[in-house]
Amino acid sequence: MNVTISTIRDSGAGIRIFELRASRGETLPSYQPGAHIDVTLGNALVRQYSLCCNRPSPERYRIAVKREPQSRGGSAWLHEQAREGDTLQIGVPRNAFALADAADSHLLFAGGIGITPVLSMAYALLNRGAAFHLHYFVRDEDCVVFRDELTGTSLARHVSLHAGLSPQQTAAAISSALEHAAVDTHAYTCGPGPFMATVIELASAKLGASQVHKESFSAPVADAGDQAFVIRLRDRREIGIAADETALACVQAAGIDVDCSCEVGVCGTCRTKVIEGVPDHRDAFLSTEEKASNLWFMPCVSRAKTGTLVLDI
């Protein structure tokens, strides 16, 4: 569906906030906190952005976009080319980062631009009267996104800002936040990879892995122990994947068309059926059960535990 960029405002630290309204007075689809949308940009790229409205509305969506130095064209286009009044095409909201409705209390951990899906969660919990607390970690005070809402509204008493902490201090703050968490508390995290890894490790030890939820914005960090492997296609052609290459890039370089979008393992566009072999799952899209079945493979980020993966391509 088409939406119009109604307002654009800067929020510091290279972040811009875009308000989107349905074109021709149409109604926007409803969504649950934590959801994201596909946005088709003017350069034909498709990127995913979290919805961060203070209250779901059939009239408007809100996204925040950080200008990434290594942008592949998504954030760069929105920062340099997009203007108020422009039309964008978006997909329906999807959610792989939903609140656990049965939980009695919630701990939210956001790092940097990772505040975007977490903010909508905080507003939803506030409106429900649920027990929650949001811990927001930033490099320095100038990097706080949505400062006015986090510090100057009814959210403020549920928010702790942590600025300029070292990795060791960050871990200590996270541990402190978890120290008195009730047994049925659920934890949620979004932000840079190392930050999320710390939250997941500490929260899983305290609450159990099943009560920890994450949303990734970036591809998994390459493992120094990654090994080369081979992808075999339906026609029995074989494509070698070096230790420092992605399966998606190698398959596309061989002239094979594979649908893709985010290229960081969160959207599911490139999901491919596995015929034989065992994937090394590194995506944030497949469920725990889907990963255990080894029936699907995300070539943009995942690798192989076996020397050869036979894919339905």
DSSP 9-73: EE-STTEEEEEEEEGGGPPPPP--TT-EEEEE-TTS-EEEEE---SS--SSEEEEEEE--TT--S
pLDDT at 278 over 90: yes
What is the structure's pLDDT at 12? 73
B/e letters for 130-163, b = 16+ CB within 10 Å, e = fewer, are eebbbbbbbeeeebbbbbebbeeeebeebbeebe
8-state DSSP, 182: -
pLDDT-derived band at 222, boundaries 50, 70, 90: low
Structure confidence by residue, pLDDT tens digits, 161-220: 999 999 999 999 999 999 999 999 999 999 988 899 999 999 999 999 999 998 876 556
What is the structure's pLDDT at 121? 96
What is the structure's pLDDT at 24? 81
User: Which of 59, 126, 128, 61 lies closest to 91 in space, CA to CA?
Assistant: 61
Average pLDDT over the chain reads 90
What is the structure's pLDDT at 159? 98
**Which domains occur in the chain, in start order?**
2-90 (2.40.30.10), 105-215 (3.40.50.80), 229-311 (3.10.20.30)
Task: Tell me the pTM.
Answer: 0.79
8-state DSSP, 94: B
The answer to whether residues 83 and 5 touch, using CB atoms and an 8 Å cutoff, is yes
What does the pLDDT average to over 88-101?
Answer: 90
What is the structure's pLDDT at 219? 58
**Percentage of residues of the chain with pLDDT beyond 70:** 96
What is the structure's pLDDT at 6? 95
Q: Are strands 87-90 and 2-10 parallel, antiparallel or unpaired?
A: antiparallel
What is the structure's pLDDT at 25? 74
Strand pairing partners for 94? 36
The answer to whether residues 250 and 232 touch, using CB atoms and an 8 Å cutoff, is no
What is the structure's pLDDT at 215? 83
Structure confidence by residue, pLDDT tens digits, 258-274: 888 777 887 788 999 99
The answer to whether residues 208 and 178 touch, using CB atoms and an 8 Å cutoff, is no
Cα 238 to chain centroid, rounded: 32
Structure confidence by residue, pLDDT tens digits, 12-70: 778 999 999 988 878 999 999 999 998 988 777 888 899 998 877 889 999 999 887 66
